[in-house]
Structure 1
Amino acid sequence: MDIDPRQYENVAINDSDIHNIVLSYLVHNCFKDTVESFTSSTTMRQSVDHLEDMEKRKKIFHSALEGNALEAIELTGQIAPDLLEKNKDLHFDLLSLRFVELVCSRKCTEALGFAQSELTPFGKVQKHLKKLEDFIALLAYEEPEKSPMFHLLSSEYRQHVADSLNRAILAHANLPSYSALERLVQQMTVVRQCLGEECGKEGHPPFSLKDFVKS
């Protein structure tokens, strides 16, 4: 059963809780300048170490986002030396960004050599083998961006890898891999979906996060 929105007005929310949720989101996404401005305007405090770590993660995140995978790997090794050694899936995804960068630059011979030396060893694992086949198939097209695997060249794919890397670095430092805001949205979505399934027999439409945010 849907709750009357007017009842929300009777729920007290502590300003400090809201500030912490916002700060968690800003720190998670490496918005260093905004963090400094936000903390100064709300009298909150952020340690120098946290700001320095944020700046390092920001450089790594943007390196991956821009497709500069080798730099992202090098910088990751400096702050989390054993992370990629333990997380083979993430290491493969980062190396795949380098392969894609070479393909997009039409350096097909260099891309093939890179795949043979750096990506092929991952082919021993089935889930990596399927992705490896898709990446290698890009070389068969004069215009790989028009191939069935075009999504591997997209900014969305780089964003996915960059986000995964950022979360892995946070988890490696024993910090939450998702911001408080993301966890709240995840929890709210699950609760509303469960409530929607219980009330589904009464004809209520299925829960839509997009529609909920707009309401």
Structure 2
Amino acid sequence: MVSNQQEKISNYFLEQAKLNASSSGDDINEDENEPLPNELNTVNSSGGFLVVSTDKLSVKYTNVNLHGHDVGVIQANHPAPVKRIMYYFEMTVKNAGTKGQIAIGFTTESFKMRRQPGWEANSYGYHGDDGLLYRGHGKGETFGPTFTTGDVVGGGINYASEGVFFTKNGHVVGTVYKDVKSQLFPTIAVHSQNEEVTVNFGEEEFLFDLESHEVEERLRQQSRIEKLSLPQNISYGIVRSYLLHYGYEDTLNVLDAATSNSVPPINVSQQNGFIEQDKLYALNQRKTLRQLIRMGQIDDAFGKLRDWYPQIIPDDNSPVCFLLHSQNFIELVRVGKLEDAVKYGRVELAKFFGLEEYKELIRECVALLAYEEPLKSPVGHLLGESQREIVADAVNAMVLSTNSGLKDPLSCLHSQLEKLLRQLTACVLERRSFSGGQGETFNLHQALSKTCYLRQIYVCPSLG
């Protein structure tokens, strides 16, 4: 009889299969959901002091200003996106006018639209007539050179370092700490007769090499990480524990042989609470079962389970049995045996008809029969390796859970590497919360997908 803990384990992998089904074909980066600035906002501007071109990318100051509030200021139509490492835009000074009082910067939605960016709280501005930086008040600070007709000036936000930076003619002028946590709008201002600028929100190539700047920031982050003090061979221990957890016995032996003379011994249990004996449990059998499932030989995997671990599949109606039966159905479709798949589904999948928790996955499996080229269909992900891996992981965890000496059966769900990634997720989300939710997004699903990359590197299919 399946224990309560084993039922929790098999139900967990059933949910993973549902997640795989719902997310497949919808792998949209969260960053892409943010609206990007692409034109100037003619509604929210000091319209009486400037003229905006029909393409909403150029502005000109046509009046003679009488006092400091006669600024022609305008924001972009959307705030700078925040779910990325940095944001940047540029403007070209077509005419510096009579005084060259042009400014570029960032302002909040509530900014007073008759003031230069930087003159009011929660705003930043780099000004062309004096080269000063203004941030939050009317007194500027020494910053960079002035700019005039023909110059290309840019403004950016580095969310990783929490800084606002400005450029002139392709070179960084300087950076200041970004103490505003709310969203910021790209903003430009003109303030004397005939001043005219054109804005580039990225539709055209920037003069400034933003891509290289991003690479440099990532390298700085990587350098900080590499300076952290860690045990000499902790990465070896993590990789080894990963191979043990998932039953990659042959690859584990190759790794041990290759590092026997180069990696000093490490007491893994002392380093991260890892009990190697638990993961050594049934290693050879788990390896065999994983190989069979990865090769699509589900009937053979069923046979081995009945011989070795009948307690895992006592009544053929458990979630892990469903995953194996549905995978067998999928394998029949994969090789074009559609009639056999229909017969198999009527016998084995029919046991799960009417049960709400299986309805979604059964519908996905059966839908494979509706397409001449099921691999190219909306449910084609079922024919991918990720689906086999979910089933193999479920069986592997269920076998590990039969270890009577296991103190925590739920430890079978994840390897030490995946637990580390979960901790990393929690830390990144906590750190991101301090910056108002700004910066590159990070979620566990994307992080765990990198585990597949490790499999490709460390697990040779011929050895696994």
TM-score bucket of the superposed structures, by smaller chain: 0.7 to 0.9
SS at match of 2:342: helix
Report the AA paired with residue 365 of structure 2. F
Deviations 1:146-173 (A, max 9, x none): 3322122222211222222222322333
2:306 paired residue among 51, 69, 77: 77
Query: Aligned-pair distance for 1:6?
Result: 4.3
Distance 1:190 1:157, change over 3 A: same
> Comparing both structures, which one devotes a greater share of its residues to strand?
2
**1:122-161 → structure 2 map (5 Å cutoff):** 122-161=352-391
Matching of residue 191 in structure 1 with residue 427 in structure 2: yes
Matching of residue 32 in structure 1 with residue 262 in structure 2: no
User: Quick check: 38-47 or 186-195, which moved more?
Assistant: 38-47
Distance 1:79 1:139, change over 3 A: same
Residue 181 of structure 1 aligns with which residue?
Answer: 417
2:297 paired residue among 58, 61, 68: 68
Distance in 2, Cα, partners of 1:63 & 1:34 = 16
Query: Aligned-pair distance for 1:95?
Result: 0.7
SS at match of 1:172: coil
The answer (yes or no) to whether the contact 2:282–2:400 under 8 Å persists in 1 is: no
SS at match of 1:124: coil
Query: Aligned-pair distance for 1:75?
Result: 1.7
Normalising by the residue count of structure 2, what TM-score does the alignment of the two structures yield? 0.39
User: Quick check: 115-124 or 158-167, which moved more?
Assistant: 158-167
Report the AA paired with residue 339 of structure 2. T
SS at match of 2:303: helix
Matching of residue 13 in structure 1 with residue 13 in structure 2: no
**1:37-52 → structure 2 map (5 Å cutoff):** 37-39=254-256, 41=260, 42-43=264-265, 50=280
The answer (yes or no) to whether the contact 1:27–1:54 under 8 Å persists in 2 is: yes
Distance 1:183 1:72, change over 3 A: same
Distance in 2, Cα, partners of 1:188 & 1:133 = 36
> Comparing both structures, which one devotes a greater share of its residues to helix?
1
Distance 1:147 1:22, change over 3 A: closer
The answer (yes or no) to whether the contact 1:60–1:72 under 8 Å persists in 2 is: yes
Distance in 1, Cα, partners of 2:254 & 2:372 = 48
Distance in 2, Cα, partners of 1:116 & 1:97 = 14
Name the larger-Rg structure: 2
Deviations 1:123-152 (A, max 9, x none): 131121222122223223333223322122
Number of matched pairs = 207
Query: Aligned-pair distance for 1:94?
Result: 1.0
Normalising by the residue count of structure 1, what TM-score does the alignment of the two structures yield? 0.78
Distance in 1, Cα, partners of 2:265 & 2:354 = 53
Residue 208 of structure 1 aligns with which residue?
Answer: 442
| Bigger relative CO (Cα 8 Å, ≥ 6 apart) | 1
Residue 462 of structure 2 aligns with which residue?
Answer: none
Query: Aligned-pair distance for 1:114?
Result: 0.8
Distance 1:7 1:205, change over 3 A: closer
Q: Sequence identity of aligned pairs in percent?
A: 27
